[in-house]
Amino acid sequence: MQETKMCQSCGMPMTEESMFGKNADGSKNEDYCCYCYPNGEFNNPSETMEEMIESCIPFLIEDGTHATDEESARKVLQEFMPTLKRWKKQGMIITFKLKDGVSTEDFLAASDEIQDNYLSKCKGFMSRQLMIIDDMWTDWVIWETLPDAVNSMHQSAENESAKKFVDLIGEVVEQQLYPLERAH
């Protein structure tokens, strides 16, 4: 028996092909439903987990399996939603080399500036670590949720400190978001 996939944003069981969301190229998205992720991006990218909980309460009550009133539905969703991919804390890892001629001192100054003037003020920012091995840098940023991480990337194009930081980076080897399973 095949396990029913669940939308990793709203928790809706996706029991039919038509319930799955679509990637930007039109292919089926295995993680999100057609309501949360209809065309390669979230339908409401700035929606918070709390807003999603409030919008899901009527559906949980209507289903009647896990809750029959607003208070119990809210409690169930407050425990359940943080386990879904969209709402888990996210680690953004970017591995790169600096442009030729960029000194470590200049880069670290730009790193401090983006930290102070941009990242620390972004919604959902939790922590950041910058590491180097030989000439390969890794910038590891932890965000409260996936939408926080994605929104910070989109908004960085308009921030002068972020532009200055990015301008010092040469080859990007990897840029990836990972759900954070555990922090100590």
Domain identity same for 31 and 46: yes
Domain identity same for 45 and 106: no
Question: How far apart, in Å, are the Cα atoms of 73 and each of 5, 7, 44, 100, 120?
Answer: 21, 18, 22, 56, 34
pLDDT at 2: 63
Domain identity same for 102 and 114: yes
Residue ranges making up the domain that contains 45: 5-86
Q: Is the pLDDT of residue 183 over 80?
A: no
Task: Determine, yes or no, domain membership for 154.
Answer: yes
pLDDT at 38: 96
Distance (Å, whole) CA 53 – CA 141: 26
Residue 140's identity, in one-letter code, is: W
- End residue of a domain, out of 21, 53, 86: 86
pLDDT digits (tens, 9 = 90+) for 68-114: 899 999 999 999 998 898 988 889 999 999 999 999 999 999 999 99
pLDDT digits (tens, 9 = 90+) for 12-39: 999 999 999 999 999 999 999 999 999 9
H or E element at residue 136: strand 136-143
Domain identity same for 81 and 94: no
Count how many domains the chain has: 2
94: CATH: 3.30.70.100
Distance (Å, whole) CA 89 – CA 147: 10
The shares of helix, strand and coil residues in the chain, as percent rounded to the nearest 5, are 40, 25, 35
